[in-house]
Amino acid sequence: MTTDSWINESLYPDWGQRFLVTRELARVKSDFQDIVIFESSSHGRVMVLDGAIQITERDEFVYQEMLTHVPLLAHGSAANVLIIGAGDGGVLRRVLQHKNVKRAVMVEIDGEVIRLCKKFLPGIAGDAWNDPRADVIVGDGIDYVKRAQDGSFDAIVVDSTDPIGVGEVLFTDEFYQNCARILTANGLIVNQCGVPFMQADELRETSLRRKQFFPYVTAYVAAVPTYVGGFMTLGWAAKSAGLTTVPVAEIRARADAAGILGTTRYWTPEIHAGAFNLPPYIEMHMP
Ligand code: SAM
């Protein structure tokens, strides 16, 4: 269908962005959420879940690079990585860029998101779906972490929707307790934690929850243009100290060894180190 209509993001009842739609590609009500994928005149193809902008071809690199490269390079030797959500495959692709990753398990609750992203947003995941190290499971992340073995992952990346609806279980005590159990002794978890200028409760409340099970809790920021409201925060919870203060030179060396250096458009060793310096309006929500 070719239209010159607009799609308004409905994440906030009284404020939001809109996109001029040049072509609607998919509109599906799955068992979990409303999924819309369309071609915009400004940001390439866009996916919306339950009215919230999830990803655009034009700026997805910002979020995917920061959600993936920061934890894996801070850890330094993550071999087994668990990805929860991330149905578009963008995080999977970037995790698999790391040469030292041996296994990337991705648990996405909605198979329709994977199907539609493969069909209409193939560039996001590239050929990550076919990587022999990838294990893609359609299932609920909270069930997966409940059943996973102790100490079976070095890093967990939670790229979920916000804690309303199907994503809510990924922001609970039970979820974080199981994540702490299945992570190795120097393991860490990062998760999409909203835009604190508009969603401060999400950052504050989930940071307090993580603090119950992890000694080192903070957040780091990324400027994602279509997550409106200023900095996007990525929640950080680690079992060991010092992972957020790795010197820039060491980050650079690790990125070079991992095959990441020179492949990014937002992440750099300096941006990585600087992202943990939170402005006071965000720092105030840290436990
Ligand atoms: N990077 C974009 C962002 O942060 O907005 C895209 C996020 S990604 C599309 C969010 C994914 O989380 C969705 O595909 C959704 O189906 C998935 N999700 C939500 N709740 C989940 C759960 N309990 N277990 C696994 N996946 C879940």
Q: Is residue 226 lining ligand 1, measured as CB closer than 6 Å?
A: no
State the residue range of the domain holding 41: 2-56
CA of 224 to the centre of ligand 1 (A): 17
Q: Is residue 140 lining ligand 1, measured as CB closer than 6 Å?
A: yes
> pTM of this prediction?
0.96
pLDDT band at 107 (very low <50, low <70, confident <90, very high): very high
Choice from 109, 145, 157 to test ligand 1 binding pocket (greatest atom count within 8 A of CB): 109
pLDDT score at 4: 62
Place of tokens 């001029």: 20
| Total number of domains constituting the chain | 2
CATH number at residue 269: 3.40.50.150
Task: List, as one string, the DSSP characters of 124-192.
Answer: HHTTGGG-TTEEEEES-HHHHHHHSPTT-EEEEEEE---SSGGGGGGGSHHHHHHHHHHEEEEEEEEEE
pLDDT tens, 126-166? Answer: 999 999 999 999 999 999 999 999 999 999 999 998 877 77
Based on the domain organization, do 230 and 109 belong to the same domain? yes
Q: List the single range of 121-125, 166-170, 204-208, 274-278 with lowest mean pLDDT.
A: 166-170
| Residue at which a domain ends, from 39, 56, 73 | 56
Residue of 137, 147, 98, 148 whose CA lies nearest to 114: 137
Based on the domain organization, do 88 and 185 belong to the same domain? yes
How far, in Å, CA of 89 to CA of 18, rounded? 25
Based on the domain organization, do 187 and 87 belong to the same domain? yes
pLDDT tens, 11-20? Answer: 899 999 999 9
Query: If you average pLDDT over residues 188-210, what whole number do you get?
Result: 94
Pick the catalytic residue: 59, 88, 159, 162?
159
Q: Mean pLDDT over all residues of the chain?
A: 95
Based on the domain organization, do 98 and 238 belong to the same domain? yes
Percentage of the chain lying above the pLDDT 70 cut: 99
Q: Is residue 85 lining ligand 1, measured as CB closer than 6 Å?
A: yes
Q: Is the pLDDT of residue 2 over 60?
A: no
CATH number at residue 35: 2.30.140.10
CA of 188 to the centre of ligand 1 (A): 19
